[in-house]
Amino acid sequence: MEQSELFNAPNPCVGICENSPKGYCKGCMRSREERFNWHQFTVAEQLHIMKLCARRYQRMLAKRRQCGDNYEFEFDDPTPPQIDLL
């Protein structure tokens, strides 16, 4: 058993459940499959998904800076999802 499996990974849902044009949740940046199957994933898989979500958010912010306010995937709240990877 991996050490990460001794701990629970928090659900990254922030209550903003709306899909972007690319299919990611605007609140937590998870894909539809990642959201629907969250409880079936191992803790290690959940932690990996949370890292992917943080990367997706950073890419979205960079694209927004580059394209300005016309970028199609916008947040109502410009703060990143609260994902604690420690």
- Give the pLDDT confidence score for residue 1 in this predicted structure: 52
| Tokens standing for residue 57 | 């958010």
- Give the pLDDT confidence score for residue 61 in this predicted structure: 86
pLDDT band at 21, cuts 50/70/90? confident
| Tokens standing for residue 36 | 């629907």
pLDDT tens for each residue of 31-85: 999 999 999 999 999 999 999 999 998 988 888 888 876 665 544 444 445 555 4
- Give the pLDDT confidence score for residue 75 in this predicted structure: 46
Residues near 23 by beta carbon (within 8 Å), at least 6 away in sequence: 31, 32
